[in-house]
Each structure stands twice: as structure tokens, then as C-alpha cells.
Chains A and B, each alone.
Chain A
Amino acid sequence: MSRVTVDPGRCTAYGICVGIHPEVFAVPPGSPVAVITRDVLSEDDLEDVEEAVRACPAQALHLIEG
């Protein structure tokens, strides 16, 4: 089962990832980092999550495939 993690030391909480997959990523008001709102990713999530990993300007996202 694949999942994605955020590196809190790198994330700037601006939320480009949210624009690409809003059901997996969120930046709650006031949060200093993006949060993952779906622990286990489905097949359907993968393409957009992979795009978010690439689009993140801070390279703060990591996909752990399983």
C-alpha cells in the first residue's frame, strides 16, 4: 500500500500539492506544513500524487510505494 509523506523541515505550506490533489493534501489555516489527509493511497490517487511530488518547489514530498 502506497503512502506519501511530507518533510516538515522543507515544506513551506504554500499548497501547490493541494491544487493538484486536494483529497490527499491540505494546508489547514495556520498550519506551518501541509498535512496528508489520506493515509493509504488508491490506484486512482497515484498519478496526481506523483505529479504533486514533482511539482513541490521544496521537494518536500516523498512517495513510499508499497
Chain B
Amino acid sequence: MSSDNDGIVIVGASAAGLSAADGLREGGYTGPLTVLDEEADPGYDRPMLSKSLLAAKEHVAPAALRTRDQLAAKQIELIAGHGAKGLDIDRRLVVTNCGEAIGWQHLVIATGVTARPVVTTGGTPLPTLRTRGDLAAVRLLATSGEPVTLVGGGFVGLEAAAALRSRGVDVTLLCANHLPLAGALGDAIAIWLHGLHLANGVRFRLGSATHRVAETPQGYDIHLADGRAEQATNVLAGIGTEPATDWLVGSGVQLDHGVVTDAAGRTNVDGVWAAGDIACRWDQSRRRHRRFEHWTHAIEQGRRVGLNIARGEATAHDAVPYVWTEQYGLTLHMLGERRPGDTDIVVEGSITAGDFVVVHGTDDELHGATICGRVRALRTLKKLLRARASLNDALGSAASA
């Protein structure tokens, strides 16, 4: 760690931050490189928290993203257990919760997001699943033998439902939408996925947001927006995320539901960059700033920022978005992005069989694809999306495959 301003500091040692460090070395940067993280043991396989690590009978720690040796070989100094508390853009310092002031020439903000809290009327935040520490708490719910009510029907909620059912836990899922993930997947796939959960014994309360949660001697009374109430013994909340920007408020770095960056990852402050879940990046194809919360996006964008700094470039990151989710042993792969009002066309297999390739688009524009089972279609569709192909091209490629 240096108090000079000649080095590069990365805040956040997870997917985006560690990839930015690798990108810097790959791009030829040989100077001091420090990565700070508030967690004591940061940088682990976060997507597994809601999947096999929750389903496992025995506690298994999430895999570390880097070994000590890998970091040492690249001369990356990891300072774990030190959180960034403030940023001084004039003196080019990051201030930590341990009282240090660390100088930088370039700074990469990669502090990700936190689970959006749901707080009871008594002021207690409900458990969520985002970190290594959360996993330990949620695993206790799974072994209590008591029913669990999941608040929120997004990816994490559905994956947790599947993992808990595989352990025989009684699960009720509360979801604000009429169907879980209908926006991302389209109704046809969402109906199938909902059916898969029903067949595996999950109970649903659909179509009403959680309005208020009150603690009771037995657990919780959950009041829904439509006036219904649900009693719960144990709860787990998964209603979305909030960018971890607290430490940047008032710093001069532009914030708007995340750290605002251009397509290359630069913020409004010279020398300050952002990558990963926290970055609200200019998306040329949609012509607006937006965040992506996906593993490969965090890695690829982090690397791109590292390369840009090392090479003195401002190359845009414009990869085709990719995200997967695993439920009941089936993996859904989503490429690109389905948009509201899109038509969903099965180009291979059958949705009800859980073995399909579905493309999403309007008129003649291809926006995305959802694939289950037939992984060989992934690369063809990725290439079509990258080439901004039409829906017809996608239909044609399936016919010729």
C-alpha cells in the first residue's frame, strides 16, 4: 500500500475488481496495484450461494476466486477487511474504515451491490442472501425443520426455493408479479418454470407485493399490498439489490442508481473508473445508462477497464449480455435481453419438455434467447446477437442447424 498517488487502487475484490486487476497486468501495467475489500475473506463464487452451497447437506465454503499465490505472482496486493469509507477526488485518496488514506493515480470502483433490505415494523432487517456470511445464516433456516417463506420471486428467490425444496423444506414464495420472471423470460417459459416449482411442492402467493412485515411471537405476519396477509415462521428476502455507493455520496463522482460511466467505464472524474454490478454504464444499443448484474459481465467489464487504464485507451465494453440460472438441476441460459412486448418463438425443442431454444424479439429485431438443455445453440445465437441479426436470421439458423 502506498500513500503516494502513483499507484492504482481497486475497491472491491470480487468478480469485477479482481478481473480489473488481471486486466491491468494483462495490459502491461507494472506499477503498484492494491485491491481493498471490506470483507475479511473476499472474492468467492457468489452465484453458488443460492445453488449447490444452499442445497448441500454439509456446509461447504464458496470457492475462492484467487489463491494467495495467484495474487502474489501478479503482484496484486489484497487488503482484506478494510472498507472504503470516503473518497477525496482532489487529493486522490481513498479513506478506509481503519483510518488509512490510500493515494491513487487511477481508482476502480467495484463495490458491487447489496441485497435490498426488507425491514420489519419492529426495525429488524429480514435475512437476505448475498454474502458468505448470509449463506451460513440461511443454511440454519434450512436445517431448522421449519417452513420458510421467501419474499420475492427473482432469480435468487427461485433458486433458493429450489435448493430448499431439495432439502425437504416447506417453501412458500411471495411474488409481486403475476408470474415469476415473466419479464425476462416471456410468459410461455415463465408458466413452465412456475409449473416446475409447483410440481416440486413450492406454494405461491402471486401478484401482490409485500407491503409490511410485522414480527409476532411465532414469527412474522406479512401483509401484502392487496390486503391479504401471510403468516411465516422463517423468512428470506430477495427483492432486488442496491448499489454499494454509500462511501461515494458527496465525493463528486456522479451517482444515479449506481456509478455513472461511459461505455469504456470512465466516470465523470478523471482517473476514476467503475465496473461490475455497481456500474451504470452507457449502453449504446439501448441508448441509456444501465446496470447489469451478471457474473460474466462483471468479469469482462472489469477486465476491459483494467486494459483501458493500462493501455491509455477508452475501448467500449459491448459484449452480449449472458446470465444463467439453475433450478431443480436444470440450467436456463439467457443471452441478450428480452424486452417488454417481445414475441417469444420456440426454434428448437419444446418448452413443456424443459428442453428448448426460444428467441425473443419484435418485428424483425432479435433481442435475446433463452436456452434450456440445448446448449449447442448458445454460440450461434451469441454470434447472431453480436452481429445484430434479425429475428428471421435466428429462425433461419435454427432451420439449418
Measured CB to CB, the residues of A under 8 A from B are 12, 14-16, 18-23, 48, 51, 54-55, 57-59
Contact = CB atoms under 8 A, between A and B. Distances in A.
Contacts, number: 51
Contacts of B65: 57, 59
Contact of B70 (A51, A54, A59): A59
A10 B211 CA distance: 45
A55 to B, nearest CB: 5
A54 B324 contact: no
B331 interface: yes
Contacts of B379: 21-23, 48
Interface in B61-115: 63, 65-67, 70
B52 interface: yes
Nearest to B44: A57
Interface size range on B against A: 20 to 34
B300 interface: yes
A22 B45 contact: no
A55 B299 contact: yes
B291 to A, nearest CB: 19
B137 interface: no
Nearest to B65: A57
B299 A54 contact: yes
A54 B300 contact: yes
A57 B63 contact: yes
Given A18-B375, A19-B324, A21-B379, A55 B52 contact: no
B392 to A, nearest CB: 24
Contacts of A18: 375
A16 B376 contact: no
Given A19-B375, A22-B378, A22-B379, A54 B19 contact: yes
